[in-house]
Structures are given as structure tokens and as C-alpha cells.
Amino acid sequence: MFSALAHPTRRALLARLADGPASVTELAAPFAVSLPAISKHISVLEQAGLLQRTQSGRVHTCALDAAPLRDAADFVQRYQVFWTQTLDALAAYAEATAPEPESD
């Protein structure tokens, strides 16, 4: 999943699909690589569950499926406190997760 997102071409493909479904050739058009290369990228995205294929005739139409990205969002947001809060809040968070008997 994260490795599917790790390649810039694949992120660009997702961005393109955010504007609507497209065929493999349409998806490949903006890129300077061969069609088989794009085909492989699409397979990677499909296997990561980020892309759904619908074959109608000889045209494979690809559509974005962002559902798995929710997991990535969940993962990343667990760390949100570490970049949004101040050091005080960070300390509070540390204390909340690993309570330390300080007094009382």
C-alpha cells in the first residue's frame, strides 16, 4: 500500500484518476515511459486496491478506489499530534500514553 504510493508515476496516475475514469492508453499519454511500464504501474495500483478495472471490449477502463487510503490516513493521523502540537502538548501526549506516577 505505501509502496504502491511510493512511485511518483503511480501517484500521478491516482491524481489523474481523481478527475474521472480513463483507459490505459489515456492514462499513459502524459508519461514518457512505454505502455507496458504504465500497465505494470496500473497493476500495482490495482493490487493495492487503489484502482478498479472495468474491461469493456478491448478497452480497460480504470477508476480510482480511494478506500484503502483511509488506512493510510489512519496511520498518518496517529502521528498528527507530533507535528501539530507544541512541546507541552507533546509531553502531555507522552504522559497520556505512558502514564508516569509523578505525585498524588
Partner DNA sequence: AAATCATTTAACGAGTTGGTTAAACGTTAT
Partner DNA sequence: ATAACGTTTAACCAACTCGTTAAATGATTT
Site residues for its own copies per CB under 8 A: 2-3, 5-6, 11, 14, 18-21, 54, 56, 61, 63-67, 69-70, 72-73, 75-80, 82-83, 86, 93-94, 97-98
Residue nearer to its own copies on the CB measure, 32 or 87: 87
Distances 68 to 9, 54, 92, 101 between C-alpha atoms, Å: 18, 19, 31, 40
Give the list of residues 6+ apart from residue 21 with CB closer than 8 angstroms, or none.
54, 61, 62, 63, 64
In whole angstroms, the minimum distance from the beta carbon of 86 to DNA comes to 22
How far, in whole angstroms, is CA 23 from its chain's centroid? 20
What residues line the site for DNA (CB under 7 A)? Answer: 3, 6-7, 9, 23-26, 32-37, 39-44, 53, 56-61
